[in-house]
Amino acid sequence: MKRIAYKALLDWKDGRKRKPLLLQGARQVGKTYLVDDFAGNEYSDYASFNFEKTPELNAIFDGDLDPRTIISKLSLFIGRKITAEETLIFFDEIQACPRAITSLKYFSEEGSDLNIIAAGSLLGVSVGKKSSFPVGKVNFMTLYPLSFNEFLDVTKDSLLSDMIREGKLDELGEVFHNRLSEKLKLYLYLGGMPEVLQSYLDNGDIAEVRNIQNEILTAYNNDFSKYASPEQAVKTSEVWESMPYQLSRENKKFTYSGISKKARGTTYSQSVTWLKKAGLIYPSYNVSVPKIPLSGYSDKTKFKLYILDTGLLGAMLGLTSDIILKPDALFAEYNGAFIENFTASELMNKFGSELYYWSSEGKAEVDFLIRKGDQIYPVEVKSGTSRNLKSLRVYEKNYSPEKVIRISPRIFSRENEFLNIPLYGVSGLDELV
């Protein structure tokens, strides 16, 4: 399954200042598959160690953390010699062995000739609790569910995917616009979890797709109990289960009262942080004055929360597959929750930074702000074909951005500073602006 992140792994391998690579991302977004594929294509030898499946590995890291000593012990463990240049060493689910996380510091300082990738589904949750984190001693990379562009690649539409990626939306006529819109509806239902997509590609069984999505959701709930105290696990589950309701409201701002009437931030904020660190949600913070850096002008007490994958969102809502056949139902369903959530996940996949939205004293609200160089662009998401640009125009009047952007089901259009980008074209935003 072709992933855009593969190129980033190649860049890491060939980098002059290569350090151990820490591959982050939510459970089941395809980290292990990606590294397995990379190792098979780019190295003559591969040594993979999973600390959850093989807990006896922990004993190797209990004593001396000298890289040569550890490599010698790991070689004995697998029964063959691990060589520096020829072997890719993979520490999978490394959060299960805090000392292995600490060892990355010494691999960086004394074993720079070694090729080491470490991955963990809950690294953000686990790091710092029982281990000394190797600050400045690792390279970072985050893997997300497959984007819509990657979905096009794996469904044999790479030429259209390349045109979107290169921002050539003006070259797509009505025929390709309709084709991409139909594929987007399927993607919104399936989502971008690799196991889900592989199952659908192999047998086309939409019922099996939903079974796998529900299994993933069950695995996430199990993680709440496994990596949090019993009390926090209950609260984290309550926040997670409230997400579909929070997103389906007209005003998608997250409120603790949306969990229960008596819920308060002091009780549930830690669970929101847990879900963010686990990669299961993407917060979008409120900005009232759009200046660089956006983080410096954001109000972290006002935010929206999006789920990492629209397919999982659909499973949580119990949507039936016949919605794919309806012209625009999935776009407009739950007050456009799918489209706004889809846009958030595409922006995270593309830019990998925090999300922000703008509001002005209840008079206007723009769904997203994106930064390109020293410019900030307002982005409004429309689930229907409405031409209403009230909030964008309020923002434009106040701040005079070089571009104002609407994302909608409409075909691409450009008029002076205004861009209408079709829903499927979000990943081409940086080229278009």
Predicted confidence (pLDDT) per residue in 210-221, tens digit: 999 999 999 999
Q: How far apart are CA 117 and CA 8, in angstroms?
A: 13
Using alpha carbons, list the distances in angstroms from residue 2 to 7, 297, 345. 10, 38, 19
- The residue-averaged pLDDT of 294-313 equals 95
Evaluate if residue 129 carries a pLDDT over 60. no
What confidence tens digit (pLDDT) does each residue in 154-207 have?
A: 999 999 999 999 999 999 999 999 999 999 999 999 999 999 999 999 999 999
Q: Percentage of residues in the chain with pLDDT exceeding 90?
A: 75
For 276, other C-beta atoms within 10 Å of its C-beta total: 16
Domains contained in the chain, CATH given = 5-142 (3.40.50.300), 148-432 (no CATH)
Q: How high is the pLDDT of residue 194?
A: 97
Q: How high is the pLDDT of residue 162?
A: 93
Task: Specify whether the CB–CB gap between 94 and 60 falls below 8 A.
Answer: no
pTM of the model: 0.92
Q: Which residue has the higher pLDDT, 228 or 96?
A: 96
Q: How far apart are CA 91 and CA 110, in angstroms?
A: 18
Q: How high is the pLDDT of residue 50?
A: 97
Exposure letters 46-82 (e unless 16+ CB within 10 A, then b): bbebbbeeeeebeebbeeebebeebbeebeebeeeeb
Task: Specify whether the CB–CB gap between 400 and 139 falls below 8 A.
Answer: no
